[in-house]
Amino acid sequence: GAVVSQHPSWVICKSGTSVKIECRSLDFQATTMFWYRQFPKQSLMLMATSNEGSKATYEQGVEKDKFLINHASLTLSTLTVTSAHPEDSSFYICSARDWNQPQHFGDGTRLSIL
Amino acid sequence: QKEVEQDPGPLSVPEGAIVSLNCTYSNSAFQYFMWYRQYSRKGPELLMYTYSSGNKEDGRFTAQVDKSSKYISLFIRDSQPSDSATYLCAMSASGGSNYKLTFGKGTLLTVNP
């Protein structure tokens, strides 16, 4: 149980394009979803928290216009990196949780901007 | 002082060894404690989840929480090469709707056959 699917697993795109990453909870309803960024050999850095049907809460220093988050249903959240540039290249990981349960993570998306 | 301290290793052990992984923390409000395993280029996988102090066992894994010392541990018995991964401790003050996790930096473990 508690499976979180993240898609795509790897994407390469040109600078200036927008990229959408999907995060789905497959066997539970995710009241809250989280988006993280992870640099090589470092721990996870929380970018934003989203509750279904509400605006996402962004961490300090994360540009909300750059990283658009939508949590339209209890099983789906999306992260769109707008006008991506090489410095946005990173490993993006989502997690999801139901009320009073621990977070379960997706397998991450490796984003490479050329 | 960082909120959560975790020795990054690397830690290398022979197959079959007992592995001890630890984290210390400074925030006395933390009540929920987790251990995640992360393989290279994958997302973290939840191994253990405990509330408040005490021990919890699941197969070869045992998690211990000592809130009085602000110290948590994960023990792996009969370690296998497939246990080679980065182990992240994580903790939270609240179990409510917007709770956030504070992570350790992770310990890289290699189990040699």
Q: Does B42 touch chain A (CB under 8 A)?
A: yes
Identify whether the C-beta of residue A90 lies closer than 8 Å to the C-beta of residue A79. Answer: no
Q: Does A31 touch chain B (CB under 8 A)?
A: yes
* Min Cα–Cα distance to chain B from A109, Å: 9
> Which pLDDT does position B28 carry in this prediction?
92
Is 60 exceeded by the pLDDT of residue B2? yes
> Which pLDDT does position B47 carry in this prediction?
96
* Min Cα–Cα distance to chain B from A38, Å: 10
In A, which residues are within 8 Å of B47 by CB distance?
Answer: none
The reply to whether residue B88 touches residue A44, judged by beta carbons under 8 angstroms, is: yes
Q: What is the DSSP string of B45-108?
A: EEEEEEESSEEEEETTEEEEEETTTTEEEEEESS--GGG-EEEEEEEES--STT---EE---EE
pLDDT digits (tens, 9 = 90+) for A69-95: 998 899 999 999 999 999 999 999 999
The reply to whether residue A110 touches residue B41, judged by beta carbons under 8 angstroms, is: yes
The DSSP 8-state label assigned to residue A28 in this structure reads S
Residue of chain A with shortest Cα separation from B96: A100
Tokens 């956030």 sit on residue? B100
Which of B 91-110 lie inside 8 A of A, CB atoms?
Answer: 95-98, 100-101, 103-106
Q: Does A4 touch chain B (CB under 8 A)?
A: yes
The reply to whether residue B43 touches residue A108, judged by beta carbons under 8 angstroms, is: yes
pLDDT band at A100 (very low <50, low <70, confident <90, very high): confident
Is A88 in a helix, a strand, or coil?
A: helix
Q: How many CB atoms lie within 10 A of CB B43?
A: 23
What is the distance between the alpha carbons of residues B24 and B47, in angstroms, rounded to a whole number?
18
Q: Residue A51 is nearest to which of B36, B97, B103, comparing CB atoms?
A: B97
What is the distance between the alpha carbons of residues B56 and A37, in angstroms, rounded to a whole number?
30
pLDDT digits (tens, 9 = 90+) for B59-75: 999 999 999 999 999 99
Give the mean model confidence (pLDDT) for residues A58-68: 95
In A, which residues are within 8 Å of B88 by CB distance?
Answer: 43-44
Average pLDDT of every residue of chain A: 93
